[in-house]
Amino acid sequence: MRDYTAGAMDEPVRTGSTELEPRQVLGLLDRAGVQHVVLDRDCRVLVASPGLSASRGADLVGGHCHEVLWRRESDCRACLIDEVFRTGEPRSFWVPVMRPGALGPRHLVHQVPLGERVLEVIVDTGAPEQFFPELLLRERILLHGLRRVPVGVLLVDSRMHVVAANPAVLAMLGANEEEIKGKPLDELLPEGAFPARGGKLAELLARHAAIHDREIVLEAGGTRRVVLASLAAVVGRGQALNAAVVILTDITRERRLNEELERKVAELTLLREFNEVLSHTARLEQVLRVVLATLVHPGGLGLGAAAVFLVPEGRDVLEGWLARAGDARAPRGGQRRGLDLEALAFAPPGEADVMLEQRVRRVRIPLDEERHPLVAALRDDVPRLLDAGGAGDELDPPIAALFGPGPVYLAGLRYQNRPLGVLAGVARRDAARIDPDQVSLGGLVAGAAAGAIARARLHEELTRRLEDLAEAHGRLRHMQGQLLREERRSALGDLAAEIVHQIRNPLAVVGGFARRLARTIPEDDLRATDVRILVEETARMESILERIRHDVRLAQRPARTRIDPEELVRAAAERYQGLAREHEVTLRTEIAPDLPAAQGSREHLLEVLDNLLSNAFDAVEPGGTVVLRAQRLRDAVHLIVEDDGVGLTAEELERVFEPSYTTKSDGTGLGLPLARRLVSQCGRTLTVDSRPGEGARFRIVLPVWSRDGERRTESTSTQREG
């Protein structure tokens, strides 16, 4: 053991009502493992702690202070030791180490005047961030605790009974010195303040010299303090423990500030993430789900439940929109960092969520019901708290019906002074109230949410307009195509009509004179047959021309009107009843009940049915059957002409709709192609199904009539069902 009494270190160090010998102080520092030197006025080292000498590799005593930390001589002057002597006040300064060494990169040096000497305590702080709070706090306690008021100092004897206490300790314990003198330490400090008690603690101290920074809570006079307690043994000669110093540092304020700071950081982190998620969220429902998740998640505001009510654009009513219940089991203020708001927002709803949302979605409040708390909140500038915690409190019945009894927080959602809706937050069941920080954070969330809602609405409006535009564009293109086709058809029609006319005149001349000849030639004249052929063939040509003209005119008519399929079928069949009797063919109509109106042209379809029936009658033998059927299949009306006649061969079936293809001697070949075109003008198809000897079935498929036939089914106007 070194003799720390070397040199003039005689002046006692006063702590409260107790004085410590200087050598006791140095022993204390040694025990605590704190490096130190004692310097005289010339910066000569009188005493150096063993650790310091060991790290330097030489005994420092008698050397100059700059050798201690490889300080430069100029730095030594900067240490202003005279200043310490002059003011008698302790001071601290940093010493940067120029060469890396055993003492580390940075040191904090505390200088404390001790009479004609200066005690220099050197704290190895390592990197600056390791400095706080442990190191500084500990060294501060050791140094300044000896004289400064906020630090409590208790001196105990070897049995751990109180010998002395300074005023700070008395304030912390709420007692006067007489009351605590002689009391065992563990009666004054909370249980567990120091791990071993009584005599055992003394043994522990004898081995370890000091116990640092036990965090304890002291409650006295209605004040709750968080205190760091350190205990250092004062060792006398021969290593016997003769006393111990307990140093108590009140860190309540720091702790509170620290907690406050942490909370603020967490809030800011949350808000930053919240804003970040909102900034790339465009759909209204997504925005709302993110907002609700932020309100109810324990890592967010940790409310018991939350709901959002919105005023739909252009309407004077507040409607319940979405809701979410919190997880009642999760502790509040959980992990905030890395909180995945998006994943939370779209987590599948639980049973509580669904029930709450059902209740919320039923809410419809006209805006003129100004006394309704939700409507009132819409106009509020500050969030409103409805506290129904106590028995005497009256909670608005509609709010209680929605959320149950308990404190409720309502924040208006406003954007550019426009009321958009209301956010409602409900306290957790296990919380008596909504905390002020929940209210303030809720206000920030509501502000950000309002902006995002306004943006989402704008986005939806734009999307809707874009879709309208695309639809209009599509319709326009469709109509253009139709116009173009119709123009072409019309031009072809005009040409055909012109040809008919041009041929008709010379044909009338040829046919007319042929008839005159026929009238003048006696029947027994051999030329009579020749002339008759002339007459017949010109007549046939005229009927062909008439047919073409008729078809062309028909094809130029508009084809999409409302038609009654039943009436159409009956009218078509009516025209063939006489022929049916004549040909001994059964003509039957089968019309499904409750047929909807179809879309087409009555004139066209009559023409087509006429054509199909005519073909059918040509195909059936006497005794055969022709059936005209009308039925509904899904979104179409089917008109079917079925016969049990000769049927069509595979080749006929393939070519039957080709222009100019005919199996009939007097056919123009225009019949079925025209029929198909007329049906397609009505909007759908004409198909045939047949086998030789098994009859044929022609099928006209027509769209069911709708007023707005071109448009798709109306799109849903809001995202609410989505």
Partner 1 sequence: MPTILIVDDEANLRLLYRKELEDEGFEVIEAATAEEGLREFERRRPDLVVLDIRMPGMNGLEAMAQVLDRDRRVPIVLHTAYDSYRDDFTSWAADAYVTKSADTAELVRTVRRLLEERAHIGPPEL
Binding positions for partner 1, rule: CB under 8 A = 497, 500-501, 504-516, 535, 538-539, 542, 549
Residue 478: HSE in the Cβ half-sphere, 13 Å Cα cutoff: 10
Task: Answer yes or no: are the C-beta atoms of 166 and 172 closer than 8 Å.
Answer: no
Distance CA(552)–CA(547), nearest Å, equals: 9
Residue 198 or 512 with smaller CB distance to partner 1: 512
Is the CA virtual torsion 513, 514, 518, 521 positive or negative? positive
407 token code pair: 């404190």
Task: Identify the CA nearest to 364 among candidates 403, 419, 413, 402.
Answer: 402
Task: Identify the CA nearest to 434 among candidates 382, 468, 367, 384.
Answer: 384
Distance CA(35)–CA(29), nearest Å, equals: 7
Contacts of 524 (CB under 8 A, 6+ apart): none
Residue 163 or 503 with smaller CB distance to partner 1: 503
Residue 362 or 540 with smaller CB distance to partner 1: 540
Supply the minimum distance, in Å, between the C-beta of residue 551 and partner 1: 14
Supply the minimum distance, in Å, between the C-beta of residue 538 and partner 1: 5
Q: 293 exposed, middle or buried (CB, 10 Å; 0-12, 13-18, 19+)?
A: buried
From the CA atom positions of the chain, what is the Rg in Å? 52
Distance CA(391)–CA(450), nearest Å, equals: 35
Residue 317 or 499 with smaller CB distance to partner 1: 499
Helix/strand/coil percent split, the chain, to 5? 45, 25, 30
DSSP E strand stretches across 236-360:
241-250, 305-310, 317-325
Supply the minimum distance, in Å, between the C-beta of residue 495 and partner 1: 14
Contacts of 32 (CB under 8 A, 6+ apart): 138, 142, 209, 210, 212, 232
Supply the minimum distance, in Å, between the C-beta of residue 496 and partner 1: 12
Task: Answer yes or no: are the C-beta atoms of 119 and 142 closer than 8 Å.
Answer: no
Task: Identify the CA nearest to 251 among candidates 343, 152, 358, 170.
Answer: 152
Supply the minimum distance, in Å, between the C-beta of residue 536 and partner 1: 11
Long-range contacts of 10-13 (CB under 8 A, 24+ apart): 10/115, 11/114, 11/115, 13/114, 13/146, 13/147
Distance CA(227)–CA(236), nearest Å, equals: 28
Distance CA(503)–CA(514), nearest Å, equals: 16
